[in-house]
Structure 1
């Protein structure tokens, strides 16, 4: 069964907003430490595949977060996808920005 993660860029204005959204959709609980290293660990190894990640209204997030911060998050998501491709995961993690 495919896990679909959708976040709405209209609600993501800061890195904190992004981490809160991820903690909510992934049900990470109170022990999640909202940082990029923890998110990498969760997305790259801890969640069952296949995963379809869709960031709707991503341009609004980019404008609100700023290019540098948004690009950090975008690059991490793309790295997760690329890692799965390198590992030969036919049904791995995919990311789409809308």
Structure 2
């Protein structure tokens, strides 16, 4: 049986702040109304509310890193931790170029 993998594609040219990051996730993943736009809320929705399997791909992430600074590093760490928590249900791909 083939399972359809949902994809969320982020572009570093447009994801340049936490605000644009959260807005893009809300748009593509139809996050629940109670999503609080902070890292704790992001953890909660990624590990409990967003159905899988899901692949989150962040293209040109170097542009986001330059614009977001430490926030970028914290988000990527959380995404990778959430992927580890969910096993094969969540895959994170960060392409710096």
TM-score normalized by the length of structure 2? 0.87
- The question of whether the paired residues in 1 share the 8 Å contact of 2:35 and 2:45 is answered with no
- The question of whether the paired residues in 1 share the 8 Å contact of 2:9 and 2:59 is answered with yes
- Two-structure CA RMSD over aligned residues (Å): 1.3
Q: Secondary structure at the match of 1:28?
A: coil
Partners in 2 of 1:22 and 1:84 — Cα distance?
Answer: 18
Large movers: runs of 4+ above 6 Å: none
Partners in 2 of 1:60 and 1:16 — Cα distance?
Answer: 15
Deviations 1:55-84 (A, max 9, x none): 011000000111x11111000100011112
Name the residue aligned to 2:90.
93
TM-score normalized by the length of structure 1? 0.86
Deviation at 1:28, TM superposition (A): 2.5
Count of residues in Structure 1 that have an aligned counterpart in Structure 2 = 92
Asked whether 1:44 is paired with 2:44, we answer: no
Partners in 2 of 1:29 and 1:75 — Cα distance?
Answer: 22
Partners in 2 of 1:70 and 1:21 — Cα distance?
Answer: 14
Contiguous gaps of at least 5 residues in structure 1: 86-90
- The question of whether the paired residues in 1 share the 8 Å contact of 2:83 and 2:90 is answered with yes
Q: Secondary structure at the match of 1:24?
A: helix
